[in-house]
Amino acid sequence: MATSSASLLPPTFNGEQYHMWVVKMKAYLRGQSLWQYVDEEKQPPQLGPNSTLNQIRLHEEETAKASRALSHLHAAVTDQVFTRIMACETAKEAWDKLKEEFGGSTQTRNMQVLNLRREFETLKMQEAEVVKEYVDRLMNVVNKIRLLGEEISDKRIVEKVLVSLPEKIKPTQGENKKFGGEKRGKERANKQWNKPAGFKVFAPCSHCKQKNHAEYKCWFRPNVQCNACKQLGHIEKVCKNKQQQPAQQAQTAKDLQ
């Protein structure tokens, strides 16, 4: 029960990492169905002189939600930060005050985005750095830009990584899309990581003990007949008698003369 209660607590803001806290707090308030009371400052429906019991009940529920949204903001900040919003009467007023105090002005935010985008564009892979380390550094900058409300497409990130790769591991032009598929296809065909691509390994042939062909294609099958010497056990291509026949024929012709 203690773990369940702790998971319902809002994220705490102590005056640092404001942009990260904003993302977490928005998700928390949406999960509580209270974000609209912060973002839009939604007001409870007005009661008329002849309000029904259902209208009165709805008004009380909406009023309670608006108060609960402000209460969650109070609970989500430390005492030092709370002094900045203690005079605010609505959740939206408190939210905007925190944004003004810690989020910076629009001009400041735009400068932050500009500087981060410049860092993204100029970030290069270091000589002794592996690809994963470089990608981690790159995504750290990307996440900061996204926290400020800006967007960088996944395609642009991939292009940035490919441009920064060392030449020895960089795929050539036109190979980017097919590189991964071809490599996986060859590996599946060989079923071994340590075998050269294009060479398939078979079980040892029962006739010649070799592993580079299927047994039914073996040149030394006992039931296959040679077209040259008409004997069983091998094919014409490997027939030893075939090489001796021209010499024998020449000697026979010489003896007849």
pLDDT tens-digit map of 145-172? 887 778 888 888 888 888 877 665 555 5
Q: Does residue 85 or residue 233 have the better pLDDT? A: 85
108-135: average pLDDT = 84
Encoded tokens for 250: 């020449």
Neighbour tally for 206: CB within 10 Å = 10
Q: What residue segments make up the domains of the chain, in order of their start?
A: 2-103, 106-164, 219-256
Q: Is 151 in a helix, a strand, or coil? A: coil
Angstrom distance (rounded) from CA 149 to CA 139: 15
Per-residue pLDDT at 243 exceeds 80: no
Q: Does residue 122 or residue 215 have the better pLDDT? A: 122
Distances (CA, A) of 146 to 20, 28, 141: 10, 19, 9
**Band (201; pLDDT cuts 50, 70, 90):** low
34-52: average pLDDT = 79
The pLDDT assigned to 193 comes to: 42
Q: pTM for the full model?
A: 0.45
Percent over 90 (pLDDT), the chain: 17
The pLDDT assigned to 190 comes to: 45
Q: Please name the amino acid found at residue 4.
A: S
Angstrom distance (rounded) from CA 109 to CA 188: 50
Please classify residue 225 by burial: count the beta carbons closer than 10 Å to its beta carbon, then call 0-12 exposed, 13-18 middle and 19+ buried.
middle
86-101: average pLDDT = 90
